[in-house]
Structure 1
Amino acid sequence: MTGYEFMKDRRVRAYTGTHLTVDFKLSRAGIRRIALGPELADATRSAVVYRAMPFAIRRSPRGETLDYVSSWRAHSTTVTLFGMRRVATKLINESAHAAAVEWGRGGKAGVLKATLAHLNSTSPIGLAQAAARANWNPDLHPRGPGGRFVPRSTIQAVGQTLSKSQRRRRRRRAETMMELVSQEAQNWEKSVRGRRGGRL
């Protein structure tokens, strides 16, 4: 099943309450208006001009001339995804040797490839996916006063680890003392009962 067939005339019960029921019916005409609208065009152009292009310029190799570095352009266009056209902005290098820089020498420069990886890693969706994949272990990331990160090998980090173990030891010691006190109380109760013939 393609994305177009899955989304076509989709209807979902979004909320059911005591006095209210909300149904969502997909309006492809409404989504088309948004997908081709000026707001989305401005958002895509902004992402390319303010996030992708500066990164690509920083990564660009510099030779005797600045022909490659100065040839980056943002080009507004449309693309088709899931059977629907939507606005997009492409980052294009118009220099004569752009392909040689991108794929030459085994693709070592790979400016566009690195730029795309940068965009994906710094977008909110990319960050959320990376956080979901990461196995977080708080012991490997000790925190200092105010939640600041403390490097593992510093005196402060070692002190924090020691204070954790001391707290554990104190807790254990307190539990042991409580057990001893309750055991002494039971022994005293038994001895008193024995002297009084089973009565306290």
Structure 2
Amino acid sequence: LYLCRHGETDLNKLNVLQGSGVDAPLNDTGREQAQRLGNRFRSQPVDWLISSDLRRAKETAGAIQCHHPAVKFTTYPGLSEICWGIWEGRSCPKLDELIDKWNEGDFSACLEGGESPLHVENRIIEPFVSIIEQANGLDHVVIVVHGRLLRIILSSLIEGNLGWMGQYTHRNTCVNQIQVYRRCDL
């Protein structure tokens, strides 16, 4: 699995929370980043391309798809970014306080009307199980998602718990490569 983050949006630049409720497009920098990401995968095999259903992820995935037009492209609504509740589309003065709670192990903490990391972890289980089951026999699956969601996925998949979320830092269009082994492969 190649887990990638979408390209930059104007709201990323302004440190505004987008979440799942703000469907911002890539800005010029984000389109350039996506193009570079697409070029990275140009000479690599891609068997399946997946993104969240949000525009910034789909646009980024599209830059990969242009080099692999015959590859199946699927969007999964369950892979959308964490919902930041009433703070989506705004800068949030309470964000540092919330992240401190998460770093202290309170993974049920959330902003008003938003999702907690625990809720997001539970939400992504079904899509990820489905992806892994459907990817049987496919060696190169590229998934384009979002910043906080990516931290939750990596912490959960690799470390087995959300306590490591803060250790996974990344920039727009980063690529995380994960080897997936099935029991029959071991």
Q: TM-score, normalised by structure 2?
A: 0.22
Structure whose residues are more often helix by fraction: 1
